[in-house]
Amino acid sequence: MAGSEVAWPCIVVYAMMMISMMLNTQQIHGALPANTQKLIDEANQRGPYLGLVIPNSFEMNPLLQSPNFTSTDLIIDFSGRRFRFGTIANKKVILVMTGLSLINAGITTQLLLTLFNIEGVVHYGIAGNANPSLNIADVAIPQYWAHTALWNWQRYGKGLEDELPLEANGDYTRKIGYINVANYTVNVTDGSSYGNLLNNIWFQPEEVFTIDGTPEERQHAFWVAVDPLYYEISQKVKGVKLEGCLNSTTCLSNIPKVARVQRGASASIYLDNAAYRGFLYNKFNISPVDMETASVALICLQQRVPFIAIRALSDLAGGGSADSNEADTFTSLAAKNSVTVVVEFIKQL
């Protein structure tokens, strides 16, 4: 007994040293610090939450300042992201800002779904408008989203009947469609057909690896549908009143409205070009164009989490005046309108 009484304190000290070393090693290699993990565990016990994924601060601030949002004292910072907790219409929510572009949006959405008990995702913000029937400050709610900058750029001299590189392996396809750069040649007056060294760009679907699928067994998705129930509920916000004036002297000629549309598109490209805008609308019937939503949609598809996106139109993506982009003027108005619709949507949940 005497020997065991001496050994036990040594064992306890050794175990504590090992645990400390393990925790330090985990932090070095990027695992969650113990205090952050504790906060996450406590937060998840109070869940589930509706995740609000927001591109930038000017889109998030109107919600933070809204009387409809009640913040709690819990904020969790991890991996450069800040997760803000609160309620909207008694619905528990987590707000997180992604930053610009598809990569940031994908990383942030994956972190949100990995760390927290999330029942659904609402993504909102501003967007360019490719639909001639919609106007600045309207709010668009598409049923489908696509990433339209995953391309197979065809070699000059190859045509529509020529197989793409790696097409036989199933890596690429000609089923979705293409844009022929030569179709946009200017100053052609004799009606002749011209080639162009840039040739054809073929649009490609994303590879998707779902959590309930076989690991490393890929599926493909180009159009990603929002959650059917969320989309049905969005019908109830069509009559919400939106703002049409920046101030007492600057107002839009059209009263902004909420429009449920067929399709939206994303790419890590700020679109301010009338020709490409027209192509996207005529080819794919796309209305809002942005830089984040398709990434959020694909992560939610992979993780089997309900999702919807609500985007207010801040500019005409190059289809308006040649003098300047409308977003320089109407970003704040569009951001406010997007928040108005998001809040009403959550109330309907």
Rg of the Cα atoms in the chain:
25
* Sequence-ordered list of residues with C-beta below 8 angstroms from that of 127, at least 6 positions apart, any chain: 140, 264, 288, 289, 290, 293, 311, 312, 313, 314
What per-residue confidence (pLDDT) applies to 188?
75
Q: Could you tell me the pLDDT band of residue 6, with boundaries at 50, 70 and 90?
A: very low
CA distance 84 to 74: 7
Q: For 95-117, what is each residue's pLDDT tens digit?
A: 999 999 999 999 999 999 999 99
CA distance 279 to 106: 26
Q: 10 Å Cβ neighbour count for 53? A: 27
pTM, to two decimals: 0.88
Q: For 287-306, what is each residue's pLDDT tens digit?
A: 999 999 999 999 999 999 99
Q: Could you tell me the pLDDT band of residue 324, with boundaries at 50, 70 and 90?
A: low
What per-residue confidence (pLDDT) applies to 22?
46
What per-residue confidence (pLDDT) applies to 13?
46
- Neighbour-count burial for 142-181, b at 16+ CB within 10 Å, e otherwise: bbbbbbbbbebebeeeeeeeeebeeeeeeebebebebbbe
Q: What's the full length of the chain, in residues?
A: 349
CA distance 224 to 78: 28
CA distance 148 to 127: 15
Could you tell me the sign of the dihedral formed by the alpha carbons of 109, 115, 120, 124, in that order? negative
CA distance 242 to 252: 12
Q: Which of 118, 123, 117 lies closest to 98 in space, CA to CA?
A: 123
Q: Is the pLDDT of residue 195 over 90?
A: no
CA distance 312 to 334: 5
What per-residue confidence (pLDDT) applies to 153?
98
The DSSP annotation for 109-161 comes to HHHHHHHS-EEEEEEEEEEEE--TT--TT-EEEEEEEEE---EEEPPTT--TT
User: Averaged over 148-167, what is the pLDDT?
Assistant: 97
CA distance 241 to 245: 12
CA distance 122 to 95: 10
Q: For 131-155, what is each residue's pLDDT tens digit?
A: 999 999 999 999 999 999 999 999 9
User: Averaged over 202-227, what is the pLDDT?
Assistant: 96
Q: Is the pLDDT of residue 327 over 60?
A: yes
User: Averaged over 116-130, what is the pLDDT?
Assistant: 98
Q: Is the pLDDT of residue 328 over 60?
A: yes
Q: Could you tell me the pLDDT band of residue 325, with boundaries at 50, 70 and 90?
A: low
What per-residue confidence (pLDDT) applies to 320?
80
Chain position carrying tokens 């309907």: 348
What per-residue confidence (pLDDT) applies to 17?
52
What per-residue confidence (pLDDT) applies to 191?
65
